[in-house]
Amino acid sequence: MKVLSVVGARPNFVKIAPLLREMAGRGEIESVLVHTGQHYDARMSDDFFAALAIPAPDFNLAVGSGSHARQTAEVMTRFEPVLESVRPDLVLVVGDVNSTLAAALTAAKLGIRVAHVEAGLRSFDRSMPEELNRLATDAIADELFASEESAVENLAREGVPSERVHFVGNVMIDALRLTRPLWQASTIVADLGLDRLPRYGAVTLHRAANVDDPDRLRQITGALQALARHVPLIFPVHPRVRPLLDGHDVRWLDAAAPVPAQGLVCTEPLGYLDFVALVSRAAVVLTDSGGIQEETTILGVPCLTLRENTERPATVRHGTNRVIGVAPHRIVEEGLFALTQPPLRRTPPPRWDGHAAARIVDVLVRATVPVAA
Ligand code: UD1
């Protein structure tokens, strides 16, 4: 059985790592890896491959950046001949980035079975590019792997036959557990001089809705500055956001000096192990990322989601996440509240137990091996 897995952007690398590891341990699977090249910087791609022990891709489509239409079209154009030469039994896609949808659509049009990991998550906000990618990918996938119960319910409501939906848990949590000794050994907290401070917070921000409108971004950074008078906030900046912060009241990390006891301090993007290490010891995290809502749930770190909605409600119900929007007064109030009264840890969401990849590969093997075999 030949499984071709596709990755393109940072969160995909984290999700595919445990799946590739699991497939490598099963004799019946021949695994092929395609990197679309959506993310290409060393810090956005190579560092993740190294930290997560992902083998070098068999194909790199090197599509790079571009508008959504161009990026999606480039992946489709360059992926089609790869599929025609490799002829896999199944194409495995993860998450909700442009590469996910482009690869799924190309495979489905060639009549190749598609499996989608992290299917069924819905923010019900179609202004998010990721929501369109999720809806369209799930509409054409043959096997849909759900990370949480809300996703199973969403797919049922959309009329997906239940035999195609598999509630397997969360591969991102598999990755977090598998790499625990490595991120626990990271020295990033000491390297930044954060170990001499009583506490610190971490920030990430990259969603178009939050960063593309200069007024909105200014409001958010202003609120973060106000909160940072009480607790220093470390902000690893996505390359796309860096130029958008020009002229904002933010300070960049000075390599020669430790992080000051207060203020919002920007850094280059961190690799996976350093980022998880930073988050694991933070007093609070403020983010608009999807995956970080999940990681903080398991790490037991208060997470304030700077969005109006989440496609990951299990992180609110079972975890430490609060969806607070971006009103400046709320960011400050909720930040201070999280510092003084951190949420109690609850039982983790069902099946976020480190075995999601094994469940997925079990299903793939069953679904593709002919019944008579
Ligand atoms: C993409 C995903 C988003 C995911 C995020 C994780 C889509 C629609 N969005 O957003 O869901 O949460 O990845 O990071 O697929 N850039 C670089 N170097 C890189 C990659 C990007 O400089 O290695 C810059 C380029 O200016 C590029 C911009 O970032 O134009 C945006 O990159 P892109 O992959 O289109 O979207 P992300 O914002 O990273």
Judged by phi (left if over 0) then psi (alpha if -120 to 50, else beta), residue 214 lies in alpha
Rounded to two decimals, the pTM is 0.96
| Closest among 110, 167, 166 to 143, alpha carbons compared | 166
Does residue 40 have its Cβ closer than 6 Å to ligand 1? Answer: yes
Determine the pLDDT at residue 368: 65
The closest alpha carbon to 79, from 96, 93, 65, belongs to 93
- pLDDT by residue (tens digit) across 84-132? 999 999 999 999 999 999 999 999 999 999 999 999 999 999 999 999 9
Query: What tokens does 50 get?
Result: 């190294």
Provide mean pLDDT across the span 67-72. Answer: 98
Cβ atoms within 10 Å, residue 310: 21
What are 225-240's pLDDT values in tens digits? 999 999 999 999 999 9
Active-site pick, 39, 116, 206, 248 = 206
Q: Is the CB of 207 under 6 A from ligand 1?
A: no
CA atoms within 13 A on the CB side of 101: 19
Answer for the pair 164, 363: CB distance below 8 angstroms, yes or no.
no
Residues 6+ apart with CB under 8 A from 255: none
206 catalytically annotated: yes
Distance of CA 80 to the CA centre of its chain: 26
15 contacts 95 by C-beta, under 8 angstroms: yes
* Contact present, 334 and 148 (Cβ < 8 Å): no
pLDDT > 60? residue 373: no
Confidence class of residue 364 from pLDDT cuts 50, 70 and 90? very high
pLDDT digits (tens, 9 = 90+) for 240-260: 999 999 988 789 998 778 888
Which residue, 310, 339, 340, 332, is CA-closest to 322?
310
Does the CB atom of residue 240 touch ligand 1 within 6 A? Answer: yes
- pLDDT over 70 at 369, yes or no: no
| pLDDT the model gives residue 247 | 84
SS3 143: strand
Span 285-343, pLDDT tens digits: 999 999 999 999 999 999 999 999 999 999 999 889 999 999 999 999 999 999 998 77
Residue whose CA is closest, atom 27 of ligand 1? Answer: 65
Q: What is the pLDDT of residues 309-323, one digit of tens each?
A: 999 999 999 889 999
Task: Report CA Rg, the chain.
Answer: 20
Q: What separation in angstroms does the CA of 200 have from each of 172, 195, 241, 302? A: 24, 9, 22, 12
